[in-house]
C-alpha cells in the first residue's frame, strides 16, 4: 500500500502465512477494509454513501443476471416476457422490483455522494483522480439506466428511446446517420432492443471495473474528512475495521429497511404507469418523461426554446444537457480555494445551500412536469443559475472569500486542544 500510515500485514496463523505467500488475498482484504487502511477519525455518515453505492451495484448485477435468464430481447415478445417474469417465474416479481427500485436507490446514494463531494470539495488535490473516475462512473450509470428503461418495451420505454436517441439528430450533418446507426433503423425496433439489451448487460461490469479503479485511487491519498484538514499523525486516524465497518453496517441496515419498504409496499411509486402498456409506435403518450433520476438533465434539455443565431434550440439543449455533467470534470481547477470543507467557507456555504441545492430541486420538479408554463420558465432560471454557479460564482467566491480558521489537526477538531498534535503552534483549538 502506498497509503502513508498503512500498517504492514503480518500473518501469524500458518494457513494465512501460506495464502499470503502464494495468493495474497488476506493482505488485500486487510489493506482494503481492515486495520491496514487507517481513515480519519471524524468521518460522518455522509461518508457512508460510497459503500451503499457499491452495495446497490452488486444488487443490480445479481438481480440483472437472474432477469436476463428469462428475458427475450425481441420487440414481438419483450413485453410478454417481462409479464412472464412477473407472473410465472418463481420470485420473478421480487427480482424485477428489486432491480427497478435498486436502480433508483443506486442513483439516490450516488447523488448524495456527489453533493457531499460538492460541499466538502472532495475533488481538490490530491484527490482529483478519485473525482474524475467518479464522474465517469456516473456517466456509465446514466447510459446503463437509459438502456435498461427501454427493455420492458412499454409505452415509456419505446417513446423514451425515440426521444433520447432523437437528440443525436440535432447534431449538424452527422446527427441523423448517428441516430440511424444507434437504432439500427429509423425507429426503435428489434435491432435497437437487441443492442440495448447487450450493452445494458455489459456496462454494469464496466462500472464495477471503474469502481475498483475509483477505490484504488482513494487508497493512495486516503479519505477526505469533514474538516478538510489532512491527516498529520496516527492519532488523527482509526482503523477502518472495526470502527467504520460497524458504522457502514448501520447505514446499510437503514438503507435496506427503506429499500425493502419500497420493494414490498411501494414497488411502482418511482415508475410510470404508462410503462405497463405495451409499446405502440402509432400512439404517442400525452406526456413523455424519462425515469426520475434523469429529470434535472431533461429539464436542462427542454429549457432551450429559442434558436440563438444559427444554432437551433434543440442543439443548444443537447449541448447544455451533456455540458451540465461534463462541467464536473473541471471542478478541481475551477475551485481555487485553499480550504476544502464548506463548514469553513461562509460565502461558499450560502451559495451552495441557497443557490445550487434549490436550483437542483427546481430542475428535478420541472424535468418531471409537462413542457408548459410555469415549468419552462422555472427550468430556464434554474439552468442559468446551475451554469453560473460552476462557471462564474464558484471561481469568484473561491478567490474573494475569507475562510474561517481551521483546526490544527483532526484530533483537535474532535477532542479539542491536543497538546501532542498542536506542538505549541496553536494555543487554543478552533471553535
Structural domain including 56 reads 48-288
| Residue 359 lies inside a defined structural domain of this protein | yes
Q: What is the DSSP letter of 89?
A: S
Rounded distance, CA 181 to CA 165, Å? 10
Q: Give the residue from 254, 288, 322 where a domain finishes.
A: 288
Instruction: Flag whether 420 is in a domain.
Output: no
- Residue among 291, 335, 412, 418 flagged as catalytic: 291
Q: Is residue 200 part of a domain?
A: yes
Say if 2 falls within a structural domain.
yes
| Residue 276 resides in a domain | yes
| The one catalytic residue among 248, 335, 412, 418 | 248
Indicate whether 319 belongs to any domain. yes
Of these residues, 7, 70, 84, 219, which one is catalytic? 219
3-state secondary structure of 239: strand
Evaluated on CA atoms 411, 416, 417, 419, the torsion sign reads negative
Q: Indicate if 74 and 17 belong to the same structural domain.
A: no
Per DSSP, the residues of 258-300 read HHHHHHHH-TTTTS-GGGGSB--TT---SS----GGGHHHHHH
Q: In this structure, what C-alpha cell is assigned to residue 234?
A: 496516527
* 304 shares a domain with 272: no
Q: Which CATH number do you get for residue 82?
A: 1.20.810.10
Per-residue pLDDT reduced to its tens digit, 84-126: 999 999 999 999 999 999 999 999 999 999 999 999 999 999 9
Instruction: Confirm whether 247 is a catalytic residue.
Output: yes
CA 74 vs. chain centroid, Å, equals 30
Residues 132 and 231 in one domain: yes
Catalytic residue, from 176, 241, 247, 417: name it.
247
Residue 67 sits in the same domain as residue 175: yes
In angstroms, rounded to a whole number, what is the distance separating the alpha carbons of residues 53 and 105?
8
Active site residue 291: yes
Whether 188 and 236 map to the same domain: the answer is: yes
Same domain, 55 and 183: yes
Give yes or no: 235 in active site. no
Q: Among 236, 256, 288, where does a domain finish?
A: 288
Residue 382 cell numbers, joined: 434554474
User: For 330, which DSSP code?
Assistant: G
Same domain, 203 and 70: yes
Q: Are 98 and 195 in the same domain?
A: yes
| 33, three cell numbers | 477494509
Residue 92 sits in the same domain as residue 154: yes
Low-confidence ranges of the chain (pLDDT < 50): 1-2, 421-431
Does 232 fall in a domain?
yes
Q: Are residues 19 and 131 in the same domain?
A: no
Choosing from 259, 288, 317, the residue where a domain stops is 288
C-alpha 373/C-alpha 366 separation (Å) is: 10
Number of structural domains the chain divides into: 3
Q: Are residues 95 and 124 in the same domain?
A: yes
pLDDT number for residue 61: 98
In this prediction, residue 339 carries a pLDDT of 95
Same domain for 130 and 55: yes
Backbone φ, ψ for residue 369 (5° rounding): -95, 160
On whether residue 431 sits in a domain, the answer given is no
Dihedral angle at the C-alpha atoms of 283, 287, 292, 298, nearest 10 degrees? 110
- CB-CB neighbours of 322 under 10 Å: 15
Amino acid at each position: 500500500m502506498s497509503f502513508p500510515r498503512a500498517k504492514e500485514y503480518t500473518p501469524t496463523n500458518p494457513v494465512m502465512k501460506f495464502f499470503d505467500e502464494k495468493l495474497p488475498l488476506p493482505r488485500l482484504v486487510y489493506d482494503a477494509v481492515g486495520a491496514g487502511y487507517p481513515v480519519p477519525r471524524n468521518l460522518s455518515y455522509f461518508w457512508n454513501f460510497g459503500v451503499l453505492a457499491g452495495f446497490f451495484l452488486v444488487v443490480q448485477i445479481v438481480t440483472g443476471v437472474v432477469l436476463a435468464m428469462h428475458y427475450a430481447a425481441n420487440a414481438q415478445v419483450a413485453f410478454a416476457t417481462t409479464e412472464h417474469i412477473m407472473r410465472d417465474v418463481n420470485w420473478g416479481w421480487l427480482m424485477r422490483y428489486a432491480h427497478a427500485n435498486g436502480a433508483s436507490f443506486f442513483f439516490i446514494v450516488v447523488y448524495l455522494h456527489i453533493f457531499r463531494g460538492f460541499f466538502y470539495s472532495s475533488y481538490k488535490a490530491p484527490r482529483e483522480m478519485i473525482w474524475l473516475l467518479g464522474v465517469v462512473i456516473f456517466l456509465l450509470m446514466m447510459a446503463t439506466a437509459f438502456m435498461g428503461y427501454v427493455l420492458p418495451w412499454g409505452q415509456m420505454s419505446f417513446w423514451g428511446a425515440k426521444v433520447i436517441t432523437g437528440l443525436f439528430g440535432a447534431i449538424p450533418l452527422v446527427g441523423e446517420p448517428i441516430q440511424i446507426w444507434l437504432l439500427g433503423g429509423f425507429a426503435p425496433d428489434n435491432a435497437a432492443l437487441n443492442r440495448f439489451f447487450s450493452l445494458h448487460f455489459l456496462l454494469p461490469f464496466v462500472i464495477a471495473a471503474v469502481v475498483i479503479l475509483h477505490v484504488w485511487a482513494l487508497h493512495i491519498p486516503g479519505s477526505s474528512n469533514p474538516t478538510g484538514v489532512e491527516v498529520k499523525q496516527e492519532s488523527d486516524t482509526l482503523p477502518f475495521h472495526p470502527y467504520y465497518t460497524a458504522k457502514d453496517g448501520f447505514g446499510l441496515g437503514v438503507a435496506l429497511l427503506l429499500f425493502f419498504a419500497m420493494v414490498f409496499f411501494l414497488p411502482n411509486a418511482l415508475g410510470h404507469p404508462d410503462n405497463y402498456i405495451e409499446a405502440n409506435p402509432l400512439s404517442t403518450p400525452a406526456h413523455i418523461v424519462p425515469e426520475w433520476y434523469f429529470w434535472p438533465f431533461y429539464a436542462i434539455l427542454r429549457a432551450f426554446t429559442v434558436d440563438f443565431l444559427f444554432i437551433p434550440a434543440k442543439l443548444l439543449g443537447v449541448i447544455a444537457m451533456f455540458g451540465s455533467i461534463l462541467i464536473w470534470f473541471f471542478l478541481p481547477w475551477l475551485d481555487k480555494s485553499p480550504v476544502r470543507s464548506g463548514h469553513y467557507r461562509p460565502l461558499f456555504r450560502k451559495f451552495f445551500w441557497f443557490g445550487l441545492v434549490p436550483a437542483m430541486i427546481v430542475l428535478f420538479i420541472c424535468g418531471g412536469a409537462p413542457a408548459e408554463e410555469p415549468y419552462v420558465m422555472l427550468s430556464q432560471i434554474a439552468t442559468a443559475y446551475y451554469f453560473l454557479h460552476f462557471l462564474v460564482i464558484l471561481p469568484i467566491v473561491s478567490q474573494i472569500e475569507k475562510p474561517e480558521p481551521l483546526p490544527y489537526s483532526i484530533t483537535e477538531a474532535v477532542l479539542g486542544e491536543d497538546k501532542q498534535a498542536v506542538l505549541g503552534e496553536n494555543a487554543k483549538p478552533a471553535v
